[in-house]
Amino acid sequence: MILSHVSVGVGDVAAAVKFYDAVLATLSITRSHYEENVTASYGEALEFWVGTPCEGRPTAGNGVHVAFEAPDRKAVDEFYREALELGGRCAGKPGLRPEYSDSYYAAFVFDLDGNKIEAVAT
């Protein structure tokens, strides 16, 4: 699998959770995480997330966010270095993200068109 998770920004997390709880239940997909008015996730292996957009703007920073699974932390570091070298912009330096889990190591970049991509090793 090459993807870890996909995130979409929403204007109203509570309304989105109500919608996705019902719609995804039809596919036997249940909510696995919820932070009130911030974010929610669905699924296990490949997760689908909804949440408030970063930078407080509906389409900025966290409109669409694609995370690629990395084999290890060194690969996350290389992903970040290469992206910046090729003209990408930093959206989060490589490092542990304890707010996600104790072993979540990731880096975030905006590509040349402003799409947010991430490499993550867990």
Phi, psi for residue 106 in degrees, rounded to 5: -150, 165
pLDDT of residue 57: 59
Distance, first Cα to last Cα, the chain: 14
Q: Closest Cα partner for 29 from 13, 15, 9, 47?
A: 47
pLDDT of residue 55: 60
Q: Closest Cα partner for 33 from 54, 13, 49, 12?
A: 49
Confidence of residue 12 (pLDDT cuts 50, 70, 90): confident
Domain ranges in the chain are 10-61, 70-122
Mean pLDDT of the chain: 85
- Domain 70-122 maps to which CATH number in 3.60.15.10, 3.20.20.70, 3.40.50.720, 3.10.180.10? 3.10.180.10
Q: What is the pLDDT of residues 37-77, one digit of tens each?
A: 888 999 887 788 888 776 655 555 455 788 888 989 999 99
